[in-house]
Amino acid sequence: MADPIENSPDGARKRIKRTQGFVEEVFEIIRADIMALRIPPDTRIPIGNLVRELGVSQTPIREALSMLEALGLVTKKQFVGYCTAPKLTRKEFEQLYEMRLLLEPYAARCAAERMDAQELEEVCELARRMEPAESETRATYGKFADDDSELHARIARGSKNRLIEDALSRMHTHLHIFRLRFHSEVTTEAFAEHARLIDALKRRSPGEAEAAMRYHIDKSYARLVPFAE
């Protein structure tokens, strides 16, 4: 496997300052590289290169990689070390969307009935913050992917069904899906679909929330299926 960081055009990095949260800073740098495909899928992550570039020891890097492993963005292979997760296959993509269509519309229906006022306000505020920038960059796209994941997680949590929440959380759906394609239409169209969903939640309309979530998932599938292998 190649060592992509060594050959990356972004190789000259700002070295990490040893502040209290510098493990999280290392985590964010590596996560951004994975989401932007600067480290391609199914590629070894050379810890030695990161040590030299970021100016930290192996310990915080390994902690950050362990955090990324918990998100499903990194795997640990025997005799190889840490690698980025493989790109979704077409079959995996289809299976993920089957599960989403089974669980998320119902979760949205329940959330419209069961979310308390504070939870609803937090979801609305998160959706407002996700308005796409005029000029899309890899950084803003990665941030949108993170916020999208959080938005769907909060709606699942608002269903008050722990089994649904846990099942969706374990799938790590959104981060992997956003790795399939970097394009402004993904964020622009998703933002509009979120607005329709949020409106239904605010009006406490279970049927409309369920329909809005189903529409959003169907549209997401249509946008991204051409890029699934």
Based on the fold, state whether residues 177 and 131 are members of the same structural domain: yes
State the residue range of the domain holding 108: 90-227
Element (H, E) at 75: strand 74-77
Based on the fold, state whether residues 104 and 177 are members of the same structural domain: yes
Q: Is the pLDDT of residue 82 over 60?
A: yes
- Return d(Cα 130, Cα 182) in angstroms, integer: 16
Based on the fold, state whether residues 96 and 75 are members of the same structural domain: no
Biggest distance spanned by C-alpha atoms of the chain: 54
184 — phi, psi (to 5°)?
-65, -30
What is the DSSP-derived secondary structure letter of residue 130? Answer: T
pLDDT level of residue 179 (50, 70, 90 thresholds): confident
Among residues 53, 84, 115, the one where a domain terminates is 84
Based on the fold, state whether residues 62 and 115 are members of the same structural domain: no
Q: What is the pLDDT of residue 146?
A: 85
β-pair partners for 44 = 83
Based on the fold, state whether residues 110 and 56 are members of the same structural domain: no
Average pLDDT of the chain, as a whole number: 87
H helices of 115-137, in order, are 117-129
The per-residue pLDDT for range 131-176, each reduced to its tens digit, is 988 777 777 888 888 899 999 999 999 999 999 999 998 876 667 7
- Return d(Cα 176, Cα 134) in angstroms, integer: 24
Q: Which residue has the tokens 């937090």?
A: 122
Based on the fold, state whether residues 223 and 168 are members of the same structural domain: yes
Which range is most confident: 84-93, 126-135, 158-167, 175-184? 158-167
Tokens of 197: 């969903």
- Return d(Cα 37, Cα 84) in angstroms, integer: 10
Among residues 84, 105, 123, the one where a domain terminates is 84
Element (H, E) at 81: strand 81-84
Comparing 77-91, 110-124, 193-207, the range with the smallest average pLDDT is 77-91
Based on the fold, state whether residues 72 and 100 are members of the same structural domain: no
Based on the fold, state whether residues 129 and 45 are members of the same structural domain: no
201 — phi, psi (to 5°)?
-65, -45
Based on the fold, state whether residues 201 and 95 are members of the same structural domain: yes
Based on the fold, state whether residues 61 and 43 are members of the same structural domain: yes
166 — phi, psi (to 5°)?
-65, -40
Q: What is the pLDDT of residue 87?
A: 84
Based on the fold, state whether residues 116 and 183 are members of the same structural domain: yes
CA angle 144–124–126, rounded 5-degree value: 30
Query: Count of domains in the chain?
Result: 2
Residue 79 is part of a domain; what is its CATH number? 1.10.10.10
Among residues 29, 56, 84, the one where a domain terminates is 84
Residue 212 is part of a domain; what is its CATH number? 1.20.120.530
Based on the fold, state whether residues 45 and 99 are members of the same structural domain: no
